[in-house]
């Protein structure tokens, strides 16, 4: 079957300048002065789509999704590579082509004409568009009085009634309510069955699951994956967790090497988190005789995660390195909830283990394994190393060394208080049972 | 719309003719755009579109009151018509000049102004400068229309001496079309320059202001004829335009044919150059703004 969208080695770069003057200097020197840097929004993307394909485009903010769609639609020109499309392309972005001062009716006409629909066809279709937009008497009011959802409906109603060969939807549905989303998906499915190729950006994984038969994952301008929707969604989730964990201070490999995490390893490997090294005083202090290099959260399968189920077994793993010889030292972690309340604390001292006779340069890994009988929510881990010798002084103390989330697992009861403590409930019958009335 | 492959390279000639057919295909859109621009300033006012006529009427009355009644200016040079109102004379020159200056200054940011269309939609950007020029011209046509009505009123209702509606008014559409070609060409050129260099707008504003004084609008052309300043009007296309409007509307004369041909040639060349230039660089616009 022939392809309707054909991209080959498409890259898009933007030239960035620190000051407007730099841009001018570079332009006037005809290439002799270089003042800008290139920012690659898209790197070497190749893609072929057949008619009737629905492709979900996923990726974090700034991954290049919108740029890709704009390049495919022809609004932006690729820096290198070729883009070929067959047939009429309609690009739908939030707020594009809607003039706030004009009524819905006028905007429908204007928008339709801009999309290239002949005027008579537009007049014929008007009732249908109006019905789909379903904004009632607001049709004759200026669009500035509309809610953002109503604006999106209007634009969407026009675009889908054009019956384009290629429909490119950039997050437009996300501002609509559930009914509109369902209608939008229904309409797009109809278009797909008629052979329209649909490219669809959404952060709602559910919508992509419902609509798309293919998906691609973009990360920093590169196509990490292109294939089935389910596989892509999995990779997207993994990418999200690894990148978020990275930001919160845990050393996880970058998004596209996520498979590495699943590798079987003998014993824990030592990890360093450069972010902790850059901590300013206030978030970190201590004598420096020992350094906390990294703190990570592991789930029941010993995988580094940022999210654990409540009531499951969790391990906080602390990676230490000693800068001096330390005879005796203790490690301590404190879990703090979103409100800043210390919820739970554990230490090697309390568990009757200790790190004895550590030499300069020696490394150690300490695991704290506990049951997460805690209220679901965001938690931070404050970690400290202390020595009995220097009573009031920590060897190292790092606030928010790691962040993780506890989620209520499916089928588990809610935890209404801060913690659930081991409890025994006893009913003393029959006198202990009260009946009303 | 037929299936069309958008490839990186396209024949320049094929591209231009494509663009021209796009413009024809989108004539309704151009109509809507012009209407939108024209009605924009009147939206929300109680009298609405009546301001398109009331505005010029107020200006004509003001010009007449200030220049003829208060300042009492008369030009002896004003051949055979010493009674003719100086205010009307200025208005007749200033109105076509305003169409020129407005389209020029507005075209410099026409691409930026329509950033959402350029960046977020698949949109034929060719029609943007066209809309700017058409809008400026159409707006001033209301003014010229009001001026004609006022002249007719003075001549046939109040029966003032020296006022008449001349047969040469029939030729006015020709002149309007010529000026439209002229300012459309300029709009294409300056919308490209403005997209690359936003600063050009301010520069152009000063230039247009200078042009206003170097064009025989507030002074009669006879003042420089035969003097060492004659070049000021000889190489100024707007001098021709202003004089031609006055000839047709006030003096009842046919403008000089040689000058008209030269102006027509200049306008067509500008339009062709401007359109080709625009067509060449339009794909960069989305990145520029």
Nearest residue, CB atoms, B6 vs list A85, A101, A165: A85
Q: Shortest CA distance to B241 belongs to which of B139, B126, B99, B141?
A: B99
The 10s digit of each residue's pLDDT in A283-339 is: 677 788 888 888 889 888 888 888 888 888 899 999 888 888 888 888 999 988 877
State chain A's mean pLDDT as an integer: 80
Name the closest residue on chain A to residue B285, using Cα atoms.
Answer: A76
Residue A259 has pLDDT above 90, yes or no: no
Residue A352 has pLDDT above 90, yes or no: no
pLDDT bin (cut points 50, 70, 90) of residue B276 is: very high
Nearest residue, CB atoms, A101 vs list B4, B6, B43: B43
Residue A96 has pLDDT above 70, yes or no: no
The 10s digit of each residue's pLDDT in B230-267 is: 888 888 999 999 999 999 998 888 999 999 999 999 99
pLDDT at residue B76, rounded to an integer: 52
Residue A263 has pLDDT above 70, yes or no: no
- Examine the predicted complex and report whether its ipTM is higher than 0.85: no
The 10s digit of each residue's pLDDT in A364-384 is: 889 999 888 888 888 888 888
Helices (H), A204-261: 205-211, 229-247
A85-90: average pLDDT: 87
Distance CA A219, CA B69 (A): 74
DSSP B96-149: HHHHHHHHHHHHHTHHHHTHHHHHHS---TTHHHHHHHHHHHHHHHHHHHHHHH
The 10s digit of each residue's pLDDT in A35-71 is: 778 888 899 999 999 888 999 998 888 888 889 998 9
- Chain A partners within 8 Å of B28 (Cβ): 113, 118-119
Give me A411's structure tokens.
Answer: 């089928």
Name the closest residue on chain A to residue B122, using Cα atoms.
Answer: A75
Name every residue in B having a CB less than 8 A away from some CB of A.
1, 3-8, 25-26, 28-29, 32, 36, 40, 43, 116-123, 283-284, 286-287
Rounded to a whole number, what is the distance in Å from the CA of B122 to chain A's nearest CA? Answer: 6
B126-151: average pLDDT: 91
Q: What are phi and psi of A434, to 5 degrees?
A: -105, 140
Distance CA A176, CA A180 (A): 6
Q: Shortest CA distance to A194 belongs to which of A242, A160, A147?
A: A160
- Chain B partners within 8 Å of A87 (Cβ): 3-4
Distance CA B77, CA B216 (A): 13
The 10s digit of each residue's pLDDT in A234-255 is: 888 777 766 554 554 444 443 3
Instruction: Provide the β-strand partners of residue A337.
Output: A379
> Is-above-0.80 flag for pTM?
no
The 10s digit of each residue's pLDDT in A143-185 is: 888 887 788 888 888 888 878 889 998 877 777 777 777 788 8
Nearest residue, CB atoms, B3 vs list A75, A86, A90: A86
């Amino acid at each position: 079957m022939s392809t309707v969208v054909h991209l080959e080695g498409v890259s898009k770069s933007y030239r960035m300048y620190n000051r407007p003057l730099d841009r001018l200097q570079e332009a006037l020197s005809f290439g002799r002065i270089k003042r800008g840097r290139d920012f690659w929004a898209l790197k070497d993307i190749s893609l072929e789509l057949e008619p009737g394909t629905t492709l979900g485009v996923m990726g974090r903010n700034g991954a290049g999704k919108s740029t890709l769609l704009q390049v495919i639609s022809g609004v932006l020109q690729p820096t290198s590579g070729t883009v070929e499309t067959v047939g009429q392309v309609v690009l739908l972005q939030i707020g594009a082509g809607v003039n706030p001062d004009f009524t819905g009716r006028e905007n429908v006409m204007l928008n339709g004409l801009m999309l290239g629909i002949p005027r008579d066809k537009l007049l014929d279709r008007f009732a249908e568009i109006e019905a789909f937009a379903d904004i009632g008497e607001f049709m004759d009011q200026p669009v500035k009085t509309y809610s953002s959802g109503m604006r999106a409906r209007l634009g969407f109603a026009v675009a889908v009634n054009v019956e384009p060969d290629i429909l490119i939807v950039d997050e437009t549905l996300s501002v609509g309510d559930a009914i509109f989303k369902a209608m939008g998906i229904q309409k797009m499915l109809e278009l797909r069955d008629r052979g329209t190729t649909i490219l669809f950006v959404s952060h709602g994984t559910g919508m992509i699951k419902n609509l798309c038969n293919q998906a691609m994952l973009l990360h920093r301008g590169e196509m990490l994956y292109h294939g089935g929707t389910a596989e892509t969604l999995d990779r997207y989730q993994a990418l999200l967790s690894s990148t978020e964990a990275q930001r919160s201070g845990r050393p996880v490999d970058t998004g596209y090497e996520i498979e590495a995490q699943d590798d079987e390893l003998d014993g824990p490997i030592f990890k360093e988190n450069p972010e902790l090294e850059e901590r300013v005083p206030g978030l970190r202090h201590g004598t420096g005789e020992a350094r906390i290099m990294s703190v990570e959260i592991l789930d029941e399968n010993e995988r580094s995660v940022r999210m654990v189920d409540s009531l499951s077994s969790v391990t906080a793993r602390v990676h230490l390195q000693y800068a001096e010889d330390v005879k005796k030292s203790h490690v301590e972690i404190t879990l703090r909830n979103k409100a800043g309340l210390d919820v739970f604390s554990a230490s090697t001292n309390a568990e009757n283990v200790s790190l004895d006779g550590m030499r300069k340069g020696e490394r150690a890994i300490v695991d704290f394994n506990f049951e997460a009988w805690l209220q679901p929510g965001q938690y931070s881990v404050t970690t400290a190393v202390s020595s009995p010798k220097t009573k009031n002084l920590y060897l190292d103390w790092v606030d928010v060394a790691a962040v993780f989330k506890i989620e209520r697992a499916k089928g588990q009861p809610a935890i209404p208080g801060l913690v659930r403590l081991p409890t025994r409930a006893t009913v003393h019958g029959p006198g202990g049972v009260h009946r009303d009335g | 719309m037929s299936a069309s492959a958008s490839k990186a390279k396209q024949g320049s000639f094929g591209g231009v003719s494509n663009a021209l057919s796009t413009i024809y295909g989108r004539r309704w859109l151009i109509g809507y755009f012009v209407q939108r621009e024209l009605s924009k300033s009147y939206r929300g006012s109680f009298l609405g579109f009546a301001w398109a006529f009331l505005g010029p009427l107020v200006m004509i009355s003001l010009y007449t009151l200030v220049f003829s009644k208060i300042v009492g200016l008369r030009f002896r040079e004003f051949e055979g018509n010493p009674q003719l109102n100086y205010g009307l004379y200025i208005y007749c020159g200033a109105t076509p000049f305003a169409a020129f200056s407005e389209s020029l200054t507005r075209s410099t940011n026409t691409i930026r102004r329509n950033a959402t269309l350029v960046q977020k939609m698949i949109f034929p950007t060719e029609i943007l400068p066209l809309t700017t020029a058409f809008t400026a011209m159409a707006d001033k046509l209301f003014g010229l229309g009001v001026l004609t009505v006022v002249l007719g009123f003075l001549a046939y209702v109040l029966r003032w001496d020296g006022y008449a509606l001349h047969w040469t008014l029939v030729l006015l559409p020709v002149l309007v079309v010529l000026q439209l070609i002229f300012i459309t060409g300029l709009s294409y050129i300056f919308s490209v320059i403005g997209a690359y260099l936003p600063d050009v707008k301010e520069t152009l504003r000063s230039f247009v202001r200078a042009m206003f004084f170097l064009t025989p609008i507030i002074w009669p052309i006879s003042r420089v004829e035969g003097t060492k300043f004659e070049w000021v009007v000889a190489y100024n296309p707007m001098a021709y335009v202003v004089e031609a409007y006055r000839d047709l509307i006030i003096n009842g004369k046919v403008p000089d044919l040689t000058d008209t041909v030269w102006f027509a040639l200049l306008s067509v060349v500008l339009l062709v150059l401007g359109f080709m230039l625009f067509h060449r660089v339009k794909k960069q616009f989305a990145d520029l703004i």
